[in-house]
Structure 1
Amino acid sequence: MGKRPPKPGPNPSDLIVAIARHEDKAAFAALFELYAGRIKAWLMSTGTSGERAEDLAQETMLTIWRKAASYDPARANASAWIFAIARNARIDRFRRDRRAEQLPDIYELIEPGEPDKPDDMLDAAEREQRVRLAITDLSEDQLSVVRLSFFEGRPHGEIADLLDLPLGTVKSRLRLAMKRLRTLLGDLS
């Protein structure tokens, strides 16, 4: 008696589509079973610690649940799309961690300094008014990425997801916006 070939597993693309169309929890559970361990193993192979890899794998799977509707099987296979999300999560976490290391100690922020002088306060108000006016000169596309990046502190990858834009477009818009603001505010110190 011969061995039967193994039964093929669920198609990951079909699972993502089911999640997108029906918020199918069973499809998500099957996708989680297929990919969570693989994502963690891949992250660990890049030098990520086990605990952080576990956390990033969870974050990746959550992003897949939220962004399933943006998956296009005609543009990428499921694995490539999933691992791109994992890679972006790893990069975003690295950037957040690096930014946190560069922030001053919280105690430095709450220690009282010298009171502001009236002239300094007036200068700051004038600078703020000039910046507000300059920002209104940006295109709506540039303004939306500037708001998300600088006012909300979102990483570029997240902005790309929120606005459904390629990451390069987000970076280009930010670069153009900053160039425009430098031109308008060049004499500001």
Structure 2
Amino acid sequence: MDAEERQHFAALAKAVAERRDHSAFSELYDYFAPRLKSWLVRQRMPSSEAEELVQEVMIILWHKADLYDPARSSLSTWIFRIARNRRIDARRRLTTRIFDDTDPTLQPEAEKGADIIVESENRDALVRAALAALPADQQALLRFSFFLGQSHSEIAAETGLPLGTVKSRIRLAFGRLRKSLESERR
């Protein structure tokens, strides 16, 4: 492309930017669209995708022609750079959309059998009964620790008990729970 052509295309881009000149845009489209498509196809892009990308680039030219600066580059360089960047973006989108539908993490959980459900409900009932059999202060400490997720220090601050007392009562509650649950299993 010689200097005269560069000036001509820069003037057309200016007409599109300033006046939304349809004939100037049409001339730019007729010149650049086939060249862009050819270049994209040579970059191993399928023809239909190349056509879509050309349309996208030309829409950008129509809406953002005012961003073109002839002092920095020729119009063809600016347009092809946009096409290159959009092609890279399209390739990235393709790689992020592809997923393996056989991936175990994407599969629904298998339904539990009736025996597993019954066993789980029985175990839950045993734990609830063992918890209910604990003294009220130990129940409260276990509730703070395991159901509310508080640390031993937070429990001590909330209850006013010394930290060592909180720890020993929780340990004692676990010992009682263990004994109660082991005796139920027999």
Normalising by structure 2, we get a TM-score of 0.50
Partner of 1:59: 56
The 1:22/1:104 distance shift into structure 2, 3 A limit, reads farther
Does structure 1 residue 17 correspond to structure 2 residue 14?
yes
SS of residue paired to 1:56: helix
**How do residues 5-154 of structure 1 correspond to structure 2 at under 5 angstroms?**
11-102=8-99
Give the CA deviation at 1:109: 7.5
In 1, Cα distance between equivalents of 2:62 and 2:9: 13
- Ranges in structure 1 where 5+ consecutive residues have no aligned partner: 1-7, 114-121, 124-189
SS of residue paired to 1:11: helix
Aligned amino acid, residue 51 of structure 1: S
Aligned length: 107
In 2, Cα distance between equivalents of 1:29 and 1:11: 14
Normalising by structure 1, we get a TM-score of 0.49
Partner of 1:165: none
Give the CA deviation at 1:17: 0.8
SS of residue paired to 2:95: helix
In 2, Cα distance between equivalents of 1:92 and 1:44: 16
**How do residues 157-172 of structure 1 correspond to structure 2 at under 5 angstroms?**
none
The 1:48/1:111 distance shift into structure 2, 3 A limit, reads same
Greater gyration radius: 2
Deviations 1:26-64 (CA, angstroms, capped at 9, x unpaired): 111110000000000000111111111111111111111
The 1:23/1:111 distance shift into structure 2, 3 A limit, reads farther
Give the CA deviation at 1:110: 10
Give the CA deviation at 1:112: 8.7
